[in-house]
């Protein structure tokens, strides 16, 4: 087996899914995915991630409760501060991927109502049949969150390798206190992201665009002498 080719194919084929089919993923396949996640490296092998996974009616119940909570107008309160501002290249890349997303579903620039409706789709979990809420341990600080970031990537690539699709969602972490209460999580657990997952609706326009990546020249600095 050519490992490089296999990993490249998984990375090339993966993209964030924003419209799922309703079909449930069999429990044993979800467990296969979670087993892959367990092989993620972490600092001192602390494995700070804990994951809440929904299936069956529990996903719909949570989806409904979350949308109601968001629409009640309560202020977002993420455990980890969201970016304060996006400048330069970061601003441009954010703008480009936003435009791709809105273009894909025909939302015109400046159409505030349609933009808000699309943003709300995050809380409807893009109709996914499952969500995984990934939390870290507060005492482990920023590196605990880094470890969870690695876990999230294993989850995303693992899902792709199993023919599943996934959407990492910081949007869900905006309502961390609600998630902690709803899922009865201890106070020392901090929400990193939610990951909606299931089977992609491959024909839906929102799943057609692919985001760009920088060339190495813009990322790597070599020091040789
Ligand atoms: C930590 C993290 C949080 C994200 N949060 C959201 C989100 O709340 N809503 C969303 O639609 N996409 C979210 N995304 C998806 C990114 O927009 C997406 O990964 C990026 O544009 C690259 O596109 P790709 O995943 O299709 O390769 C998130 C991605 C990551 C890694």
Burial readout 18-28 (b: 16 or more C-beta within 10 A, e: otherwise): bbbbeeebeee
The encoded tokens of residue 183 equal 């899922």
pLDDT, position 8? 98
Mean pLDDT of 79-101: 97
**16: Cβ below 6 Å to ligand 1?**
yes
In the chain, the percentage of residues whose pLDDT exceeds 90 is 100
**133: Cβ below 6 Å to ligand 1?**
no
Which residues lie closer than 8 Å to 62 by C-beta, 6 or more apart? Answer: 54, 131, 182
Mean pLDDT of 10-30: 98
pLDDT, position 41? 98
How many angstroms is it from 171 CA to the middle of ligand 1? Answer: 9
Complete domains list, the chain, with CATH:
15-212 (3.40.109.10)
Over the stretch 115-128, which tens digit does the pLDDT of each residue have?
999 999 999 999 99
Q: Distance between CA atoms of 152 and 51, rounded to whole angstroms? A: 10
* CA atoms within a 13 Å half-sphere pointing along the CA-CB vector of 169: 27
Tokens 């993209």 -> residue: 15
Q: Does residue 1 carry a pLDDT above 90?
A: no
Strand partners, 131: 196
Over the stretch 57-86, which tens digit does the pLDDT of each residue have?
999 999 999 999 999 999 999 999 999 999
How many angstroms is it from 140 CA to the middle of ligand 1? Answer: 24
Atom of ligand 1 nearest to the CA of 18: 11
Residue (of 118, 111, 128) closest to 59 by Cα position:
128
Q: Distance between CA atoms of 175 and 154, rounded to whole angstroms? A: 24
How many angstroms is it from 17 CA to the middle of ligand 1? Answer: 9
pLDDT, position 22? 98
In the chain, the percentage of residues whose pLDDT exceeds 70 is 100
- Of 107-111, 154-158, 193-197, the one with minimum mean pLDDT is 107-111
Output the average pLDDT for the chain. 98
């Amino acid at each position: 087996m050519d490992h490089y080719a296999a990993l490249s194919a998984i990375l090339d084929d993966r993209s964030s899914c924003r419209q799922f089919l309703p079909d449930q993923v069999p429990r044993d396949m979800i467990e296969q995915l979670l087993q892959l996640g367990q092989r993620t490296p972490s600092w001192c092998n602390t494995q700070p991630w804990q994951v809440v996974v929904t299936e069956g009616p529990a996903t719909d119940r949570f989806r409904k409760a979350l949308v109601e909570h968001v629409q009640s107008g309560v202020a977002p309160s993420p455990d980890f501060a969201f970016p304060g501002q996006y400048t330069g290249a970061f601003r441009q890349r954010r703008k480009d991927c936003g435009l791709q997303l809105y273009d894909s579903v025909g939302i015109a620039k400046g159409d505030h109502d349609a933009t808000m409706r699309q943003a709300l789709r995050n809380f409807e979990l893009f109709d996914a049949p499952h969500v995984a809420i990934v939390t870290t341990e507060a005492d482990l600080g920023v590196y605990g969150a880094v470890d969870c970031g690695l876990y999230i990537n294993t989850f995303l690539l693992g899902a792709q390798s199993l023919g599943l699709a996934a959407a990492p969602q910081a949007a869900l972490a905006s309502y961390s206190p609600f998630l902690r209460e709803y899922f009865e999580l201890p106070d020392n657990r901090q929400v990193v992201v939610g990951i909606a997952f299931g089977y992609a609706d491959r024909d839906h326009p929102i799943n057609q665009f692919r985001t760009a990546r920088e060339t190495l020249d813009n990322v790597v600095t070599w020091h040789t002498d």
